[in-house]
Amino acid sequence: MKGAGSDTCVQEQPAVMIELKDVVKNYGRITAVAGVSFQVLQGEIFGLLGPNGAGKTTTIRMLTTLTRPTAGELYVAGYPVATCPVEVKKRIGVVPQQNNLERELTGRENLLLHALLHRMPRVERERRIEELLDYVGLSSRADERVQHYSGGMARRLLIARALLHCPPILFLDEPTIGLDPQTRRKIWDLIQLMNRDGMTVLLTTHYIEEADSLCHRVGIIDHGRLIALGTPAELKERLGNYCVEFLNEQGTERHFFATRSEAKAYAQSKDFDTVVRRTNLEDVFVELTGREARELASV
């Protein structure tokens, strides 16, 4: 499914498209982001994972110029976000967590509004709008008001809107939240197709399987700090590639092992039912962020 970068004769160092250096964001006494640093390379799909309130949305808002950091430096497409916000905005597409389309406008009018805001010339904007409506499968419903759209349709229109001005970098904040599995998979396909076309993608998600199957690298953020960074395979390997799982009075217990034989030996030493399976990204996430349920508010 994944496959960033193409086989080329000359191995060039990919450009850094997104960079955060010791970024801090305080809201009064509350620290939403506490010194986060990472880079996203050209052509990568980078996933930012974390429980509710971990600081994912705040990080995206700072990168997309909507919120000023308290401290630290952010660069997008090589431009410092603090001093060149307009240059940054020209080069990014943003799919927000919440549907922020104009409800009273039609799908086509929403795209036209975005094209006008990006000052696209008439011929170009008309071509792109038709192309993207077709791309996200909304051509037949383009002249209906957005207030009549389903959640999945609105989400697809948000993606089309974010792509309209041909940005090299796309930010997606929880792109599939609240969608049915079919629509979710359709959106995964769209993200992968965009990436195959060379686009750099930074997405935040609650859905671990989404990050596992889509992202080339993931960063796990908790309490405003980046607590793990790497490819999904690397993160699983750090924990142990095999998991032995069993249920006891305290709940489900999991133990991790580097090899299948070690895991099997441990499982056989128990005189009750156990499951031996490959470690997944959700295991990594739960081990790193803890098992306590978090509040629903998104920071």
List residues binding other proteins (CB under 8 A).
Answer: 64-68, 86-87, 89-92, 94, 96, 98, 100-105, 109, 113-114, 116-122, 124, 128, 131-132, 135, 161, 163, 165-168, 170, 193-194, 196-199
The secondary structure of residue 145, as a DSSP letter, is B
**Residue closer to other proteins, measured from CB, 109 or 237:** 109
| Residue 219: CB minimum distance to other proteins, A | 23
Strands, E, within 182-283: which ranges?
A: 200-205, 217-222, 225-230, 242-248, 251-257, 275-278
Taken as a whole, the chain contains a residue count of 299
* Cβ neighbourhood burial of 156 (10 Å; 0-12, 13-18, 19+): buried
* Cβ neighbourhood burial of 137 (10 Å; 0-12, 13-18, 19+): middle
| Residue 135: CB minimum distance to other proteins, A | 6
Angle at CA 113, nearest 5°, toward 198 and 99?
75
**Residue closer to other proteins, measured from CB, 126 or 209:** 126
* Residue 4 · residue 200 · CB < 8 Å: no
| Residue 80: CB minimum distance to other proteins, A | 15
Q: How far apart are CA 40 and CA 17, in angstroms?
A: 6
Coil, helix or strand for 123? helix
**Residue closer to other proteins, measured from CB, 103 or 148:** 103
**Residue closer to other proteins, measured from CB, 201 or 281:** 201
Cα atoms in the Cβ-side hemisphere of radius 13 Å centred on 6: 6
| Residue 232: CB minimum distance to other proteins, A | 24
| Residue 124: CB minimum distance to other proteins, A | 6
How distant is the alpha carbon of residue 297 from its chain centre?
18
| Residue 157: CB minimum distance to other proteins, A | 12
Instruction: Output the six-digit token pair for 225.
Output: 């700090």
**Residue closer to other proteins, measured from CB, 17 or 281:** 17
Closest CA to 19 of 86, 90, 94, 69: 69
| Residue 241: CB minimum distance to other proteins, A | 35
Residue with tokens 């796990």: 220
**Residue closer to other proteins, measured from CB, 16 or 288:** 16
* Residue 57 · residue 63 · CB < 8 Å: no
**Residue closer to other proteins, measured from CB, 22 or 102:** 102
Helix then strand then coil, in percent of the chain rounded to 5, is 35, 30, 35
**Residue closer to other proteins, measured from CB, 83 or 269:** 83
| Residue 94: CB minimum distance to other proteins, A | 5
